[in-house]
């Protein structure tokens, strides 16, 4: 029997006899070590400039998740509604636990516990065993890009996701991400940026 690429499902991840599916599309499952290997490969290629390519890769991945998040958004597509839908989906897909710290119509703060970028890198190379401590180096570029792309598509606004903090709680790593959704006006963008700075 040939592998089916599409089957009808109810929107949640399901497992028919021929694979794992979400919203009818076949999913692939990768170990965290594979995620870490992809990140390490990009860092090997471009060194300290890896943040940009990882963010871009995340944005491309996020574009593939927009339809699923759109179905889950309750309300009129406010930042807060999208934040909860994104958090729920990414948790289902194995991105760790995601808490919405705060959200309004222009900004949101999300805390990702055990994000794949950090856990994967630890598994592959043993690097970055300790994070935080005042370092300016970001860790969750892939996750930032995924979240930015989903918000941009659903809100129809330009979005920037910044890594505000990375650290450990009870031995588990986390990244705190601050999202800024810009309106078309300069004053709105300035006001939103000042709120998270």
Give the domain CATH number at 187. 3.30.1380.20
Same domain as 50, residue 16: no
pLDDT at 116: 93
Same domain as 42, residue 3: no
- What range defines the domain where residue 105 resides? 32-196
Same domain as 58, residue 10: no
Looking at per-residue pLDDT, the higher value among 5 and 119 belongs to 119
Give dist(CA 130, CA 15) in Å, integer: 37
pLDDT at 2: 40
Same domain as 169, residue 179: yes
Same domain as 118, residue 42: yes
Instruction: Summarize pLDDT for 10-67 with one digit per residue, the tens.
Output: 555 555 566 778 877 888 888 999 999 999 999 999 998 999 999 999 999 999 999 9
pLDDT at 22: 80
Distances (CA, A) of 133 to 36, 110, 130, 166, 167: 22, 20, 8, 8, 7
Q: What is the pTM of this model?
A: 0.81
Same domain as 73, residue 5: no
How many other CB atoms are found less than 10 A from the CB of residue 107? 19
Same domain as 64, residue 16: no
Looking at per-residue pLDDT, the higher value among 109 and 74 belongs to 109
Residue 3 has pLDDT above 50, yes or no: no
pLDDT at 6: 46
Same domain as 93, residue 42: yes
Instruction: Summarize pLDDT for 114-166 with one digit per residue, the tens.
Output: 999 999 988 987 755 455 444 456 889 999 999 999 999 999 999 999 999 98
Residue 86 has pLDDT above 70, yes or no: yes
Q: Which two tokens stand for residue 2?
A: 């040939």
Same domain as 52, residue 4: no
- Using 50, 70 and 90 to split pLDDT, how confident is the model at 192? low
Q: Which two tokens stand for residue 177?
A: 């991400």
Q: Could you tell me what percent of the chain has a pLDDT over 90?
A: 55
């Amino acid at each position: 029997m040939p592998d089916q690429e599409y089957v009808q499902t109810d929107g949640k991840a399901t497992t028919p006899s021929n694979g794992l599916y979400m919203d009818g599309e076949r999913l692939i499952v990768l170990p965290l070590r594979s995620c870490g290997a992809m990140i390490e490969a990009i860092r090997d290629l471009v060194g300290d400039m890896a943040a940009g390519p990882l963010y871009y890769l995340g944005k491309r991945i996020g574009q593939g998740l927009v339809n699923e998040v759109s179905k889950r958004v309750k309300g009129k597509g406010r930042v807060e509604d999208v934040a909860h839908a994104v958090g729920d989906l990414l948790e289902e897909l194995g991105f760790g636990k995601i808490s919405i710290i705060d959200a309004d119509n222009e900004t949101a703060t999300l805390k990702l516990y055990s994000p794949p970028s950090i856990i994967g890198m630890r598994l592959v190379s043993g690097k970055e065993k300790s994070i935080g401590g005042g370092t300016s180096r970001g860790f969750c570029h892939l996750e930032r890009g995924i979240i930015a792309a989903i918000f941009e598509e659903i809100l129809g606004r330009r979005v920037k996701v910044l890594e505000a903090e990375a650290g450990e709680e009870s031995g588990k790593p986390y990244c705190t991400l601050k999202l800024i959704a810009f309106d078309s006006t300069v004053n709105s963008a300035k006001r939103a940026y000042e709120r998270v700075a």
